[in-house]
Chain A
C-alpha cells in the first residue's frame, strides 16, 4: 500500500485489503483513524471481514482498545436513553431519537464502533419548554454559555443549546426541527413528526423513517461548518444507504421525500461523496434522477474541491495545501446557509472579534 491521503477511506471501503497491510501501513492508518473518530468502526469492520487475529499484535491492541471504548459509549447511550424515557414518557408519550442514538436503539450498522458526542432528540416545538423543564429535573441543564450564543441558538437554530448532565457529563441536543429557522430551506417539522416510526420492543421510543433518517443525516452533514468528524458522518451515510438500499423500496420514497421537503441538494451531495469516497452502491436510475437535480457546474466544482478535502481524516498527513482554505470556505458557507446575509455579517464579525480562547486541556 502506498501512502495516500485517502488511505483511511480506502480501508473503510475495503477492509479485506488490510490483510496485506504492512506494519508501516498500519503506522499511518491507526493515527488517521483515531483522529477521525473511526478507529472503533475500523475494528468492527476488520472483525467482520478478515478477523482481528489477522492483524499484527501491536496494532490489534489499539483496535481492541478503541472497540472497548466504543462499547462503553454505547452502554452509556443506552443508559441515558432509559433515563430520558423515565423523564419524558409522561409528557411526550414517546421519545423521538435522532442520529447516533437512533442507530443504537434500532441496531443499525452505523451503531457499530461509533463514538458518540451526544444524544439528539426531536420534540414538537410547542412542548420545548416543558421538555426543557423536565430535563432540568433530571439534571440536564444549560452548560456554561455566552448570553449571545444562547440568544443565537434560541432565536435562529433548529435546536436549543446543548443540555449537560453534570453528574455524568452526558449531553443532550433537543431539536424542534431539522434545519435552522432562518435557513434558506424552510421545513415544516410537523411533516417529520407524522412520519416517525415506533422502535420494535420499545414502546416509548421512536425514530425517523428510513428516508427521513437519511435526509436528516445528509442535511446535517452538508450544512455543517466543522469537519473533524466529517468522514465519520459520511461513513454513517454510506452504511445507511447500503443497509436500507439492500431491501425493499427505499430509493423511490427517498427521492420523493427529498423533493417534497426541498432537500434535493443535500441528498445529491450525500450520494455523490459517499459513492466517490466510500464506494456506496447506488442504483443507476437513482444516479440518473439525481443528476437532473444537480447544482450548477461551477458550484459543483467548488464543492468538489472543498468536500473532497473535508472528507479526509483531520490528521496532518491527510491534509494538503488547500485543506485550510477549503475548510474555511465550508465554515463560512455553513453560516451562510443558516442565516440571511443581513444577520450573518454581524454574527461572524462578533465571532471573529470575540476571544476564541478554548481550553484544549479538556479532551
Chain B
C-alpha cells in the first residue's frame, strides 16, 4: 500500500507522520486545517508512523503506531487508525517533553484567561471542552494541558477533540457545521470519533493564555447544573495527581503547579445538560 508523508504543526510541535492507513488518510484533511499542514521542516519534534506490521497486512490486518521506529501499543484493528494516531501523539508528547508541565486535562480560553478541566475518563471532560469550544471559547487542548514554568502560561495544541459514545451525538447537535472523523467502533473506550476544532482555535494556536479557573466536572444523566467552590489545597493535590510529568520536573513542577492554583478560582461542576453547563461557565467568565 502506498504510504504518504505529512508534516503537521500543532501548537509548539512539528510532527512527521508516515501512514498508509486509508482511514487516517481520509481523516487527516478533514480533522486538520490546511494551516496545520506545512512544508517539510528541517527538524521535526516527533517522527511517527501509522501502518500495518509486515505480518499483519493480509491475515487479520492490524494497525500499529510507531514512535521513532518502535511500536508503542499492541496493534489495533485497522478501523481504529485515527484514535490510535491521536493517542500515539499524546504518548509521544507526554513521555518526551519536560520543558512544560503537562497535565492530563482539557483547557479552553476566553478573553486571554484559561479554564483547566481535569477529569478521568467518563467525567464529561471532553464533552464539556467541546461544548465550550463550539460556544465561543477557544480550544487549547482536549487532553494535554501544557504550562510553561517560566511564565505560567498555557500553550495551545488545537488538535481534534476526542469524543466517546453518547457524547458524539451531543456535540454533533451543537452545530450542523462540526466535522467529525468516521467513528471507530469497539475501541477500549467504546465508539470514538474526533471533532475538528473551530477555525478560530487553529488560527490562534500560537497565542498563550493565563490560568484563571480550574473546574473538575462530573457528568450524570439528569443531574442539575451545580457549580461549587473547591479548596485550593485539595485542588493542588488532585491536579498534581493528574500532572503527567509532575515528579520528573521536581521543584519546577511543584512551583509551577502552586502558581497555577494560586492564580485560579477552583470549582467542581456537576452537570447533566451540556448547554446549561456551558452557559453557567460562560457567565462565570464574564463575572470574574
Contact = CB atoms under 8 A, between A and B. Distances in A.
Contact of B96 (A34, A56, A72, A315): A34
Interface stretch (B23-31, B70-78, B107-115): B70-78
B68 to A, nearest CB: 4
A65 B98 contact: yes
Contacts of A317: 69
B199 interface: no
Interface in B221-256: 247-250
B97 A65 contact: yes
B47 A359 contact: no
A353 B90 CA distance: 35
Contacts of B41: 23
B45 interface: yes
Contacts of A64: 98-99
Interface string A313-357: 011110000000000000000000000000000000000000000
A26 B14 CA distance: 14
Given A314-B70, A316-B69, A59 B98 contact: no
Given A30-B43, A66-B96, A68-B249, 19 more contacts: A23-B41, A23-B42, A23-B43, A27-B42, A27-B43, A34-B68, A34-B96, A35-B70, A58-B43, A59-B43, A64-B99, A65-B96, A66-B98, A69-B98, A314-B70, A359-B74, A360-B72, A360-B74, A361-B74
Nearest to B188: A361
Contacts, number: 66
Q: Which 5 A-B pairs have the closest CB atoms?
A: A23-B42, A65-B98, A316-B69, A68-B98, A31-B68
Contacts of B42: 22-24, 27
Contacts of A23: 41-43
A30 B69 CA distance: 13
The secondary-structure label for the interface of chain A is helix
B120 interface: no
B71 A363 contact: no
Interface in B148-184: none
B120 to A, nearest CB: 18
A55 to B, nearest CB: 11
Contacts of B97: 61, 65
A315 B68 CA distance: 7
Contact of A363 (B14, B68, B95): B95
Contacts of B95: 363
